[in-house]
Structure 1
Amino acid sequence: MTDITIYHNNRCSKSRATLALIEDKTEQLNIVNYLQTPPTLAELNHIITLLGFTSARQLMRTGEAVYKELQLKTEEDEAKLLQAMLDNPKLIERPIVLANGQARIGRPPESVLEII
């Protein structure tokens, strides 16, 4: 089995549920607490590509207060959207699971089972 990486936030119930599902399937698991260890720009771009997204905004938590504070709703510059996520990792949707050259967001948690 391939190594699996989860970008995890322990305060999120969906993230905890996704982690539990993965732990039932494998011991080869890399847990990244992305709020303390945010992904790099290259990693964010890679995740967006693996998810098949056409915009960084698709990976953003648009309901977060910082999203509104930074007035990102009208921002069209992809570099600025990415930088906002790098500067404010709580803007990154969670949990994200990478496995077997694919990625899924664990919403619902069971959606990650198709790639592990």
Structure 2
Amino acid sequence: MEIWINPACSKCRTAKAALDEAGISYTERRYLDDPPTVAELAEVLDRMGLQPWDIARPKETAAAGIVLPRDPEHREEWLAAMAADPATIQRPIITADDGTTAVARDEETLARFIG
């Protein structure tokens, strides 16, 4: 299991604590320090069945100047912009060993990874 986190994020700390409490081993990726590539981000989105704008943080994308249309024609531009400024990516993102991936910001989603 891998979890993309920002250590300053309370939702990330909550997710890590829940995984730790459940005794689940995981690899932690501090995605601000080790940003995903465009290909990695695309792969994660494909596994979730989402588009880049679906996991964009509105305040951060505005601050980063990302004002692209939310349509498939601009998907690659979204991916490039988010990879260039990973603070724009929603968190935490968890990928289980079976490939199941989700933004685990709520208890219900997090529970899917804990069982």
Which range, TM-score by smaller chain? Answer: 0.7 to 0.9
Preserved contact between residue 18 and residue 112 of structure 1 (Cα < 8 Å): yes
Greater Cα offset, 91-100 or 69-78: 69-78
Distance 1:57 1:39, change over 3 A: same
Runs of at least 5 residues in structure 1 that lack an aligned partner in the other structure: none
Preserved contact between residue 47 and residue 99 of structure 2 (Cα < 8 Å): yes
Aligned match of 1:28 in 25, 28, 45? 25
Q: Which residue is 2:80 aligned to? A: 83
| Pair 1:56-2:82 in alignment | no
State TM-score, norm by structure 1.
Answer: 0.84
* Matched residue count: 111
SS at match of 1:97: strand
Q: Say what the alpha-carbon RMSD is for the aligned residues.
A: 1.8
Distance 1:84 1:109, change over 3 A: farther
Aligned match of 1:107 in 101, 105, 108? 105
Runs of at least 5 residues in structure 2 that lack an aligned partner in the other structure: none
> Which whole-Å deviations, capped at 9, do the CAs of 1:58-84 have from their partners, x for residues lacking one?
1111122x4255242536411111111
Aligned match of 2:14 in 14, 17, 26? 17
Aligned match of 2:62 in 61, 67, 75? 67
Displacement of 1:42 = 1.6
Q: What percentage of aligned pairs have identical amino acids?
A: 28
Preserved contact between residue 19 and residue 25 of structure 2 (Cα < 8 Å): no
